[in-house]
Amino acid sequence: MSIIGTKLRKIRKATGLSLKQLSSKINGKISISFLSDIENGRSNPSFENLKLIATALETPISYFIEDSKDSIFSSTIDDADFIHIINLLQDFKDWSIEDKKELLFYLKAKKVIRDSKHQ
């Protein structure tokens, strides 16, 4: 089972919703069978579907993606910032090679600086 699927099942059951009720809460935009496939790790939701699910369950999107307390998506990031990060990453495929290299260089430099402060 996937992390997203495990967390979806956990929060859905905690809120007392069946798959049918959750699908209804999303106005049928996601079928019961697809929700079941997500929970059982047979499918992964698109970011748009994940937003629908999170909204229906009144849960931050980051809840489904965070793997642990050490996740890069810290709980200090609010949903607006998180959505902005995801949208930027989705646009990344359209970036030029030079822009991708520049971002990678920046991230590596930032990591070196951060690591040197923690030694």
- Give the CATH superfamily of 3-69: lambda repressor-like DNA-binding domains (1.10.260.40)
pLDDT at 85: 75
Q: Which residue ranges make up each domain of the chain? A: 3-69, 87-117
* Contact criterion met (CB below 8 Å) for 100 and 92: yes
pLDDT in tens, the chain (119 residues): 578 899 999 999 998 999 999 999 999 999 999 999 999 999 989 888 999 999 999 888 878 876 644 444 455 566 667 677 777 777 888 888 898 888 888 888 887 887 777 76
Q: How far apart are CA 81 and CA 42, in angstroms?
A: 29
pLDDT at 34: 97
What is the model's pTM?
A: 0.59
Closest CA to 8 of 28, 45, 29, 27: 45
Closest CA to 65 of 74, 56, 57: 74
pLDDT at 78: 65
15: Cβ contacts below 8 Å, ≥ 6 apart: 57
Torsion 44-46-47-49 (CA) sign: negative
